Amino acid sequence: MTTPPAEPASAAQADDGVARTPEGRVASPCINVCQMHEPTALCRGCARTIAEITAWRNADDGQRLRVLAAMPARRALLQAHGALVESAADR
């Protein structure tokens, strides 16, 4: 069994407002910044931990949705530290 590649965050939006891949899976929140903020241990672009980033490829949609649910608080934390990098779509 081969592992599918990570999906881009630019995938289509589903009826539930969650970005989906063409295959219907929850898309990655990666914005191709990939810079870790050491004080919070979060990526400055996608607000995930290294463990979440590496596990994403094999995570089921339930796990992915749990990570995405944590994004607003994590993005606020990064923003409070002056470390959040926003995607062009967020500006």
- Residue 9 vs residue 32, higher pLDDT: 32
List the beta bridge partners of residue 42.
37
Band the pLDDT of 89: cuts 50, 70, 90: low
**pLDDT confidence of residue 11:** 54
- The Cβ of residue 71 has, within 10 Å, a number of other Cβ atoms equal to 14
**In whole angstroms, what is the distance from residue 20 CA to residue 35 CA?**
24
**pLDDT confidence of residue 91:** 52
Query: Does the predicted model carry a pTM greater than 0.85?
Result: no
**In whole angstroms, what is the distance from residue 44 CA to residue 59 CA?**
21
* C-beta separation of 9 from 47 below 8 A: no
Band the pLDDT of 25: cuts 50, 70, 90: very high
**pLDDT confidence of residue 16:** 81
